[in-house]
């Protein structure tokens, strides 16, 4: 069966160490002022006696119905058969339309080479059967990467288990119809 790559974050394991961001930057030579993956911070003000913080990893969602792919005039941005949304640099004219189109603010303009950029699930590593650099580096094992179509893969097992235990599993902004492939799990 055709592979379909996705990622799940077990969010309550994230300690905001940002090792993923650094690993990604090192792997992909991302320009100084940008990151391909971020950690957002949320504070729970309602529990005032004991304020708590949450950390939300965030990156390209490799949407099934990806606005960035719809709007790209050159087809540089495209959805691969394995589910990865990829930007072919040699075709990208640098119009930035995809950047404005992404509701997840997952893309940025790489001024050094004049093209749009974002997370690619570390495509060359994925093709070798390895995890993306962020997942390998994460000390908390927050990031679980794999083939959603393979019931034996770690991510499928995690999602199945989470469903059975009725854990809180969600995706971002499903109301926009983008069909994202990043899952958030709270254990």
What is the binding site for ligand SF4 (CB under 6 A)? 60-63, 66-68, 71-74, 76-77, 85, 87, 92-98, 102, 104, 106-107, 115-116, 118, 178
Q: What angle do CA 17, 165, 153 make, to 5 degrees?
A: 65
The number of beta carbons lying within 10 Å of the beta carbon of residue 24 is: 21
Of 94 and 136, which has the nearer Cβ to another protein?
Answer: 94
**Contacted by 58, from ligand SF4, another protein, none: CB < 5 to 8 Å by type:** another protein
Of 6 and 131, which has the nearer Cβ to another protein?
Answer: 6
**According to the binding rule CB under 8 A, does residue 100 interact with another protein?**
yes
Of 37 and 77, which has the nearer Cβ to ligand SF4?
Answer: 77
Of 116 and 138, which has the nearer Cβ to ligand SF4?
Answer: 116
**Contacted by 63, from ligand SF4, another protein, none: CB < 5 to 8 Å by type:** ligand SF4
**According to the binding rule CB under 8 A, does residue 86 interact with another protein?**
no
CA dist list (Å): 82 to 5, 113, 131: 6, 26, 14
CA 62, distance to chain mean position in Å, is 7
Distance, in Å, from the CA atom of 120 to the CA atom of 124, rounded to the nearest integer, reads 9
Distance, in Å, from the CA atom of 69 to the CA atom of 179, rounded to the nearest integer, reads 13
Closest CA to 151 of 166, 163, 167, 138: 163
> By CB neighbour count within 10 A (0-12 exposed, 13-18 middle, 19+ buried), where does 169 fall?
middle
Considering only residues 7, 63, 87, 102, which one is a binding residue for another protein as defined by CB under 8 A?
102
Q: Which residues bind another protein (CB under 8 A)?
A: 11, 40-42, 44, 46, 54, 56, 58, 67, 70-76, 91-97, 99-105, 109-111, 113-116, 170, 172-173, 176, 184
């Amino acid at each position: 069966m055709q592979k379909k790559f996705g990622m799940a974050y077990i969010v309550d394991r994230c300690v905001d160490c940002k090792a993923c961001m650094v690993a990604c930057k090192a792997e992909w030579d991302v320009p100084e002022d940008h990151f391909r993956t971020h950690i957002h911070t949320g504070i729970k003000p309602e529990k005032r006696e004991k304020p708590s913080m949450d950390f939300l990893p965030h990156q390209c969602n490799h949407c099934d119905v990806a606005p960035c792919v719809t709007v790209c005039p050159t087809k540089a941005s495209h959805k691969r058969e394995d589910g990865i949304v990829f930007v072919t640099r040699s075709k990208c004219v640098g119009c930035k339309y995809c950047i404005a189109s992404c509701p997840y603010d997952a893309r940025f303009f790489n001024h050094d080479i004049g093209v749009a950029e974002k997370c690619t699930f570390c495509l060359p590593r994925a093709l070798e059967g390895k995890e993306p650099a962020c997942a390998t580096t994460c000390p908390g094992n927050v990031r679980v990467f794999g083939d959603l179509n393979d019931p034996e893969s770690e991510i499928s097992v995690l999602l199945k288990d989470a469903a059975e235990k009725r854990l809180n599993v969600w995706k971002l902004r499903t109301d926009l119809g983008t069909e994202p492939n990043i899952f958030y799990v709270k254990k």
